[in-house]
Structure 1
Amino acid sequence: MADQKDYYETLGVSRDADDDTIRKAFRKLSKKYHPDLNHAPGAEQKFKEINEAYQVLSDPQKRAAYDQYGSADGPQGFGNAGAGAGQAGGFGDFGGQGGFGGGFDDIFSQFFGGAGGGAQANPSAPRQGADLQYRMDLTFEEAIFGKDTKISYDREAVCHTCHGSGAKPGTSPVTCHKCHGTGYIQVQRNTAFGTMMTRQACDVCGGTGKEIKEKCPTCHGSGHEQERHTIDVKVPAGVEDGQQMRLQQAGEAGTNGGPYGDLYIVFRVAPSKKYQRDGAEIYLTIPLSFAQAALGDEIKVDTVHGPVELKIPAGTQSQTKFRLRGKGAPRLRGNGTGDEIVTVEIQTPKHLNEKQRAALMQFAAASGEDVTPHNGTLFDRVKEAFKGGK
C-alpha cells in the first residue's frame, strides 16, 4: 500500500468534495494536460492519472470502495482486481462499468438488500452521455496538409420539447411512489439457502427514482431524441492512418442534466501511388540512366510540396539515398516538418540502337574490358543465321 495512488491528491480536491467539485477539477486538469493540447514531456502520463482518478471518484460505488479499502476494487481478493480504472483516448467499453464495481459491501447488499451498508448510486445524479466513433477517409495529401471540413452523423440529443426532463411541457417528474426515489426495490426470493432479499431496479421508474405522469409528446418520456448533427472539423496537418482525434461533448446526450459524451474521429488515409510515408518522413524512388549516374546531372524531383532541383554527383551508385530537408510531412506532436528521402535506381536499357551499342563498346575498350555482346534471343540469332545463308 506504500505506492497506493491518492486520487483526491491527483485531482487536487478534499476527501469530502462533492460530485460537482470533482467534475470541475477534472475538466480543468484534463484541459491543461490533454496530449492534444500539451506536448510537454510527462503530460500524457499525467492526463492518464487524472482520468483514472476521475473514473473512480465520479462513480459513487467505486468511490465508496476506494474510501474504505484504498482501492476501487474493494478488499483484496474480491472484485476485478486486474482491471484498470479507465484509459484516456480508448474506444473500448464506452460508458460501461464492468464487474460488481463496488467491492464486498456491494456484493453483500445485492444478496441481502443493502444490509452491508454499501454506498448506492444516486439515480438522480447527472451522468455523461455515451461516446461515439466516426471514421473519416482522407487522401494522402489531405493527411499531410490537413483540411477544414464538415461532418454529419446521427446521435441522441436532449429533447428540444422537454429539455431532457421527459415530462410534458408545463409538468415535471415526481418522486417514484414505489421506490421513493431510490431507484431500487427489495424483492424476496426463495433460494436453496432459504428466503433472501435481493435488490433490483424499480419496475415503475426503471431505476431513475422519478415517475413521469404525463410524458413528453416528442421523446415519450426518454428525455432524448434522435438528431442529425453537423459540426465543423479541423483536421490537423500530419495525421496518420489509424490515428484518432477527440471532440469533447460531441457524442450523445447525458442523463439528468449530465454532459454530452465525446466523439472520436478515426482517420483512414489512402495510400499514395508515388510516395511511401513513415511518420514525418516521405520516401520516393526515382530512375536514373547510366549516363546520369556516371557523369552526374541536375534533375527535378517531385515532393508533396512541389518539384525541387536535385544534384546527382558523378559516379552515383544505384540505391544511393538523398535527403531533401523539410520536404516531408508536418510533425503532429512536435515542431517543424520531416524530410523526403529519395532513392535512385540506375536503369539498364533493354534495347540499344547502333550508336549506343558502338559507344558502349568504345567505353568498354577504354576501360580495358573484353566484352562479347549477347545479341538478342536464341530465336533472333537463328533468324539471323537463316538470313546469312541465303
Structure 2
Amino acid sequence: MAKRDYYEILGVSKGASADEIKKGYRTKAKELHPDRNADNPNAEAMFKEANEAYEVLKDAEKKAAYDRYGHAAFEGGMGGGRQGGGFGGGNGDFSSAFSDVFDDLFGDFMGGQRGGGGRTRASRGSDLRYNLRVTLEEAFAGSQKTINVPTSVNCDTCTGTGADGGAEPATCPTCSGMGKVRAQQGFFTVERTCPTCSGIGQIIKNPCKACGGAGRTEKERSLSVNIPAGVETGTRIRLAGEGEAGMRGGPTGDLYIFIEVAEHEIFERDGQSLFCRVPVSMTSAALGGDIEVPTIDGGRSRVKIPGGSQSGRQMRLRGKGMPGLRGGGAGDMFIEMAVETPVNLTSKQKELLREFEKLSEDNNPQSSSFFSSVKSFWETMKG
C-alpha cells in the first residue's frame, strides 16, 4: 500500500511553518492516542503514522529531502536505508517525537526550562509578612517605626553559595545540571525531579559548616518602616528585597507590612470620618451653650449647642477627620451629643425637678406626640 503524504497525515499544508507542523502533530497525537481509542483497532497504527510524519517534518534536513524526493528520500539509495545512516529512521523514533511535544505540553508543570540551561540553579527567597499595630494618632500624622524581623539572610561564611570556603557548587552528575531526569514508560517519556540534587541542578561536595549547605542562616534584622499618614487597618506596605534570602545566592523575597490601627478611647473611625460622642448635661441641652471638644491633631474646638438638643444629634467639624492615604484632603469629624440624666440628686434638686416637671407639660414635643399615638392605638384595639 502506498504511504500517505506526511503533510496530509498531520493535517497541514506543504508550506506550513515549524510551529504549524508541531501544532498539527500535537492535535493528532491527542486525537489518535491509543489510550483514548481503546475501541478503535486502527488507532495505534494511525498514531505511529502521525509520529513518523512528525519525525521527518520537524527536522529541517529531512523535511527538505522529503519535499524534493517524497518517501523515496528515505528508501534504499537515497540516504542509507531505514536503519542505516543518512537521514535514517523513516519509521521514526516515537519516544523522540512524542517527548518533544510532551515538553511543549507539560514542561511548565514540571518546573523546568527546556534546553541546555535546565532548571534555575538558585531559588528565590520567600516573601514574609509582618503585622504592625499603630495608634490612631500615628495613622493620622504618619510615623517612622523600627521593627525586628526574624528572617533568613545570606550566610557570611560561604557568601550564599552553600559550599565550604565559598567554592562553586558542582554540576549534578545524575541530571547533568538539568534538575530533572527522564524515564521511558511505554509510549510516554516522563520527567521527574532529580533525586540527587532535588531539582537544583547542582550538588555541593563540601557543604558550608555554618549553614549546612543551604547558603543562608537565621537572623533577626532591624528595619525602619515609614508609615504614611492616612493608613487604615488592612493597609499593606511592601518592602522590596527585605524578605527571606534565596537559596544558594538566589534573589531575596519581599517583606509585606500589614497595618492594624488600634481602637481609640475617644474617637471612632469610619474611613476618613471621625466620630466623637460627647456627654452634655440636661440643662445645657435644654438651654443651649458652648462645649469644648478634642481633635485628633491634639487641638481643641468649640462647638455651639442649640437649645432643645436631643441625644444623638450630630454636628460636623469640616476637615477635622483623617487624611486620605493618597491625598485628596481630610475627612470630617462628627460630634454626637449624649444628653446625660443627673444621678444622686439631693432633696432640693428633686423638689426643683418636680416643680419643673409641673411647669413643662407643653415643652416635651416628642413625649406628647408619642403618648398621643399610644392613646389612639389603645382606643383602636378596644374598638
The two structures have a TM-score, normalised by structure 2, of 0.60
In the alignment, the residues of structure 1 paired with residue 189 and residue 195 of structure 2 have an alpha-carbon distance, to the nearest angstrom, of 16
Shift of 1:139: 3.0
Identity of aligned residues (%): 38
User: Equivalents in 2 of 1:213, 1:205: separation in Å?
Assistant: 11
What residue is the counterpart of 1:245 in the other structure? 237
Alignment of 1:8-19 (within 5 A): none
8 Å contact 1:159–1:223 — kept in the other structure? yes
Shifted more, 122-131 versus 174-183: the winner is 122-131
1:325 alignment partner in structure 2: 318
Distance across 2 between alignment mates of 1:199 and 1:368: 92
How far is the alpha carbon of 1:223 from its aligned partner? Answer: 1.7
What residue in structure 2 maps to residue 13 of structure 1? none
1:139 and 2:135 aligned: yes
Q: CA deviation at 1:127?
A: 4.2
Rg bigger for which structure? 2
For 1:321 and 1:213, locate their aligned partners in 2 and report how far apart those are by CA, in whole Å. 75
Structure 1 contact 113–199 (Cα < 8 Å) conserved: no
Alignment RMSD, CA only?
3.3
Structure 1 residues 258, 359: CA separation in 2 closer, same or farther (over 3 Å shift)? same
1:308 to 301, 304, 310: 301
Structure 1 segment 212-223 matched on structure 2, within 5 A:
212-223=204-215
Higher helix share goes to which structure? 2
The equivalent residue for 1:116 is 102
- The number of residue pairs the alignment matches comes to 263
Amino acid at match of 1:315: G
Displacement of 1:342 = 0.6
Residue 373 of structure 2 corresponds to none
Return the alpha-carbon distance in structure 1 between the equivalents of residues 259 and 232 of structure 2: 7
Tell me whether 1:129 sits opposite 2:118 in the alignment.
Answer: no
Residues 254/114 of structure 1: CA separation in 2 closer, same or farther (3 Å cut): farther
Secondary structure of the residue aligned to 1:169 is helix
Q: Which residue of 2 aligns with 1:157?
A: 153
Amino acid at match of 2:307: A
Aligned counterparts of 1:293 and 1:324: Cα–Cα separation in 2: 19
1: CA distance, partners of 2:352 / 2:119: 91
Change (3 A) 1:351 1:210: closer
Segments of structure 2 that go 5 or more residues without pairing to the other structure are: 1-21, 31-94, 365-383
For residues 268 and 168 of structure 2, the distance between their equivalents in structure 1, rounded to whole angstroms, comes to: 61
* Unpaired stretches in structure 1, ≥5 consecutive residues: 1-67, 79-108, 372-390
Correspondence for 1:270 among 262, 269, 287:
262
1:341 aligns with 2:327: no
In the TM superposition, 1:45-124 aligns within 5 A as 116-118=102-104, 119=107, 120-121=112-113, 122-124=118-120
Question: For the residues of structure 2 that align with 1:211 and 1:368, how far apart are their CA atoms?
Answer: 95
